[in-house]
Structure 1
Amino acid sequence: MRVRSFKLDESGLTRFFGPLEAKVMDILWASSGELTIREVQQVLEQEKLTNFNTVMTVMNRLVEKGVLQKRTEGRSSLFRPVQSRVEFLNKQSKEMTNELMDEFGNVVVSHMLDALEEADDDLVAKLEHKIQQLKKGL
């Protein structure tokens, strides 16, 4: 999935998805396997969020976006995420970083370095290690 819009004023998964899409993805990522629309809707119903048809529409749109896989078993449709949550976030952050670098180059690097002032020591050490690896590769 390629995120078409990134919402700076949101947080968590709602930066990539609508609020209901984010809740559906959370439910599916938390499950150990495939879930039906009804199973997802029942979790959402506990929070008094939505009805079956709305959940079905959202889940089918997530399939169209390439985030969920759908298979039919009997009369039921079973859904599962294409990637784990970690894989999804890793891929999205990498794509965004590459796009920012392509478009804004040195400005992005400068802002990332400024952000390191607030980063923990482990993150700075990982960055230093990565820079050393890159230098050796040159």
Structure 2
Amino acid sequence: MKIHHFKTNESGLNRFFGALEAKIMDILWDGAEKSIKDVQQKLEREQEKLVNFNTVMTVMNRLVAKGVLKKRLEGRSFAYSPVLSKEQFIDTQSKELTHELIEEFGPLVVSHMLDALEEADTELMEKLEQKIKQLKKET
């Protein structure tokens, strides 16, 4: 699944999703399958205000259409769950974004990524060194 709109002016999941979509995904990543009603009630508790059932249903079904959620019939309603764990989703999207940036801007992106490492912790730098050594061995 590829998220087509990455928002640089946002943070966290809001870079990939609208505000309500991100809240719904967080709720679904937090546990077992949930119905629209379950998600609506959880949103109401978190926001301390009423949330329209039809709005939640529309957003959840859009997330299914985007390939982020899956649904299965359970009795007379549907149970929804994420296709990927939150960690898998972030890994997949960051990998896709990195490949697109490198494909489009090449060495410039790599240079900026290396510049950003000045702010990185030592553990991340060591992982990068190990990865570069591994890549050199494979070529």
Shorter-normalised TM range: over 0.9
TM-score, normalised with respect to structure 1: 0.97
CA distance in 1, matches of 2:127, 2:44: 43
TM-score, normalised with respect to structure 2: 0.97
1:111 alignment partner AA? H
Q: CA deviation at 1:49?
A: 5.6
Which contiguous aligned blocks of 4+ residues in structure 1 show a shift greater than 3 angstroms? none
Q: CA deviation at 1:45?
A: 1.0
Residue equivalent to 2:130: 129
1:28 aligns to 2:1 (yes or no): no
Residue equivalent to 2:119: 118
Residue equivalent to 2:83: 82
CA distance in 1, matches of 2:75, 2:110: 53
1:30 alignment partner AA? D
CA distance in 2, matches of 1:49, 1:57: 16
Root-mean-square deviation (CA, aligned residues, Å) is 0.7
Q: CA deviation at 1:50?
A: 1.8
Instruction: Determine what percentage of the aligned residue pairs are the same residue.
Output: 65
How many aligned positions are there? 137
Once the two structures are superposed, the pairs formed by residues 45-124 of structure 1 within 5 Å of their partners are: 45-46=44-45, 47=47, 48=49, 50-124=51-125
